[in-house]
Structure 1
Amino acid sequence: MIKPVSIQPTPAGPITIGPGAPLLLMAGPCVLESGDLAWEIAREMKAIAARLGVSYVFKASFDKANRTSLSSFRGPGAEKGLRILGRLRAEVGVPVVSDIHEPGQAELAADCLDILQIPAFLCRQTDLLMAAARTGKVVNVKKGQFVSPWDMEHAVNKLRGAGTEKILLTERGASFGYNNLVVDMRSLVVMRAFGYPVVFDATHSVQLPGGAGGSSGGQREFIPALARAAMAVGIDGLFLEVHPQPDKALCDGPNSLPLDQVEPLLKQLLAVRQAVSGVIDAA
């Protein structure tokens, strides 16, 4: 039985993710490039979500600590980035999720974020998981590219051991040889069986890590196909990196969905979700 997770308080009021609740959409640019861009995307995504009856959370990283190259753009950093996210949360009126990378960032981030996200590369970091759990915020753990879905139960147990049941698990593909990822849709079923809502990251799943030499490549043309498949299998939330001009994005452009393609894709996905909802809930 899936335990619904409540995200509260948020500027939009309490949000529930799980069976019977609206689809949760986490979407935004890979990294905070500028305040203007973040506000543009957040406002547009908020409007789309309202039209379609979807719960929306703005996502953007304040620091991409795992970039391929030393010279790659990382973002404004924790102090400035969290100030920007806090302002956006208040002014646009949307909840916000971002990554934390060190235990010491947990309390600082919890002051302005609604969801603390554990990056895939750090999903085994016990101290980081426990620090995030102790804030009382919802914690979204991305499954590592190197971790089997059944081994994510250890991450769940660490979070529960630190006193939280506010857990989300996100699938983002598994390493498949060099510079490639593959999505095993069984992962969604396996992780959902732990009793917590599951999210599918449709954009990082088409990433080609390090595939562009000094940066990661991607195959954004496969985002819709994988998202439809995941929705048919059964997910509670969808994670998308979106950008008005992905080819000009400072991070993860090759695997970002163009902003003007988000609403048409969501309409497809919601139709799939409606078609299979009775089957998924009964499973």
Structure 2
Amino acid sequence: MGYIPGPHHELKENFTAMADFIRKKVERNMKTLDSNNPRDFIDCFLIKMEKEGKNKATFFNSDSLVMSLMLFFGGTGLVTATLEYTMLLLMKYPNVAEKVYSEIDNIIGQHPAEFEDRFNMPYTEAIIIIIFISPLALPHKLIMDTRIHNYKFKKGTIFTLVLTAAHNDKIQFKNPENFDPNNFLDENGKLLKKEALMPFSAGKRICPGKSLASMDLFIYITTLLQNFTIKSLVPPEKISVTPVGVGIGHVSPSFEICLLPHTCSQD
């Protein structure tokens, strides 16, 4: 891709800039590191590096530290994009939004949302899964020669999982082409548990930020809807939800939104 002109060159430059930013932060932490009083993730990682010493087999090294912190950048971007699309789709489908409001009122009420509440809020969790699902997973590399059906693949072959193929499968889901949380709920209204549902990729190497992203999205969305009523400035039928960019995640089109505090939502 380096020989082909296009905006992907800027992407590489951005990753380089972020890595440089992280390395400078690590250097500052190293100068003032107190092993007895770690201040953040970097300090904890550096302390572990000291304990590992010259162990060449350890994963605790400067390169791993940089890449681990890069995951936080990626996770922040994907969570932000998911939150944006959540607001857009709830404006587009007010009937879905009303069910979410009802579930929040019945389960959480006015108490601060906790991650454990999700077990009693399958409809809300189904919405988060729908919106979070990416078209593609991050690339996977074979660590040994492998046979898949009648095909042989050599060690080092890189695969990119097309998650859309599974999540749009009409055999696996009731109505996959439409925004319908019921696609991911069983006849009892509980969240489906099936192999075809892969919001965080597939296999042993699923998204390492799965737990953090799930918690972030659930707390952010429920807390926001607990305190505000979403109102669109245009009729729902005029709202476009077609993404303007597709890759690891969906990029929503620009939109305007009005958030009314619940105390004045009836005015």
Instruction: Specify the TM-score bucket, using the shorter chain as the normaliser.
Output: under 0.3
Q: TM-score, normalised by structure 1?
A: 0.21
Q: TM-score, normalised by structure 2?
A: 0.22
Greater RCO, CA 8 A, separation 6+:
2
Decide which structure has the larger Cα Rg and report it.
Answer: 2
